[in-house]
Amino acid sequence: MKKIIALMLLTLSLFASGKFLSPLPLPKTYFIDLDINRCDDYCLQSLLNNGEIFSFLAKAKESNDPDIQKEYKKYALLFHMSQKRSIGAYNILIALQKRLAPFGNSINKSLLAYFLKNGFDFDVTTKLFQNSDTLITYINETNTSYDLIIVPLPYAQKDIIARLQTNTPIFIPTIHRSMVESENENIFFGGPDYYTQLDTLLSFIDENLSIFYLDKSPLSKELTDFAILYASVNSKLYPIDEKIQNMKQILYENEDLNESSVLFNTPLVKTALALSQMTYYDIEPKIKISTQINYNPRLFSLTQPKDRENLYIAISFAPIQPTLEAYNALIDSNINYDWLGYACFAGIEALTNTQEGMKSDFQILDNQILYPIRILQTTKYRFIDQTLQENNLEF
């Protein structure tokens, strides 16, 4: 009897499905050109007209004619052919300062997953620089064969963007176009639109607004200034020192916070500290809001369910395709929460597809990648999308 049960369990396990789709690529078809004679665009069109599709596919890959390439892609898709770029490997340079070296790992994993999923040839080089000056000098003075240079800059260094002068396209995944002045048409931006996130959140506010922010953070202060300017209610500020461990001086018997609206322009750890101590001091704001600065699954381990009641977070992440998610999971990458990885995926998707004449899920306007704004509510165990309530999406 035990053998029968064991056999049944083994059989069931063979048909069990995992969380992710299989990352193994589908079989691809290759047509090898055995004819040494050259075939120009007129010749290729004749092959099409005569129905010699296999000969056409073997020779058409190198053509620059848009109509020929359109027909080639159509038949390549039909025969599940490899969709590698006809002009060779896509060469990318990741240029960053040494103190930001961990960012390079996140970017590399995201690019690897994307290119493997799409079957593109690629070559990614990471270079570390001692400081911003050496980084700028290298980019401006080195004649490279790179198709794209990715430069993850912290917000505090946004002013150096004006010093980047090169004809090679540059992608900055950390900063939004609206936060800088740039006339260089070769610089593209992939940062989240914090202003639109805040504007969306502020539309929920009908009570006095209390704002927690880091007094030494340029980004935190700029977002706070924006909220003060565009909020339709009175605002009260609570500057937070980055070394603070106890908020008793701010929270103890602070009746102004009860039934008010609270905006957290603070990083995750400080936000979690404020949320937990608000519960301790019996402070119950009417609503708590934040930009995607606090969009992180660690929020659930750093706080209790009571702390997170009525907390809403605006994000610019869109849902990831299951196959891409599977490739990322294989290399221990999760671009559902990692903005740097997500933005680099979006940037490569938009920029490469634009160059190849293919449709992209992401649009570029004024050199900025456009993202949707979604509002998530934090519940007991997860984030729930309130933007599409009929779908009740959970994260």
Mind listing the pLDDT tens digit of every residue in the chain (395 residues)?
444 334 333 333 333 333 344 444 444 444 444 455 778 888 888 877 866 666 777 777 778 888 888 787 766 655 544 444 444 578 899 999 999 988 988 999 999 899 888 887 788 888 999 999 999 999 998 767 788 999 999 999 999 999 998 889 999 999 999 999 888 899 999 999 999 999 999 998 888 999 999 999 999 999 999 999 999 889 999 999 988 889 999 999 898 999 899 999 999 999 999 999 999 999 999 999 999 999 999 999 999 999 999 999 999 999 999 999 999 998 889 999 999 999 999 999 998 875 555 567 788 999 999 999 999 999 988 999 987 554 445 55
Q: Where are the domains of the chain?
A: 30-81, 90-191+320-369, 195-315
Same fold, 90-191+320-369 and 195-315: yes
Residue 85's CB is within 10 A of a number of other CB atoms, namely 17
Is residue 211 within 8 Å of residue 236, measured between CB atoms? yes
Which of 3.40.50.300, 2.40.37.10, 3.40.50.2300, 3.30.300.30 is the CATH number of 90-191+320-369?
Answer: 3.40.50.2300
- pLDDT value, residue 143: 64
The pairs formed by 231-234 with CB atoms below 8 angstroms and a separation of 24 or more are: 231/202, 231/205, 232/202, 232/205, 233/205, 233/206, 233/207, 233/208, 233/209, 233/261, 234/208, 234/209
The whole-number pLDDT of residue 284 equals 94
Side-chain-side CA neighbours of 6 within 13 Å: the count stands at 3
Taking the C-alpha atoms of residue 190 and residue 176, their distance in angstroms, rounded to an integer, is: 6
Q: How far apart are CA 207 and CA 286, in angstroms?
A: 8
- Confirm or reject CATH 3.40.50.2000 for domain 195-315, answering yes or no: no
Cα–Cα separations (whole angstroms), residue 244 to 74, 103, 271, 274: 60, 26, 11, 10
User: According to the model, what pLDDT value does residue 279 have?
Assistant: 96
Global pTM? Answer: 0.75
Supply the pLDDT for residue 53. 65
Q: What is the pLDDT of residue 386?
A: 87
Q: What is the pLDDT of residue 68?
A: 84
What does the alpha-carbon distance between residue 313 and residue 382 come to, in Å, rounded to a whole number? Answer: 12
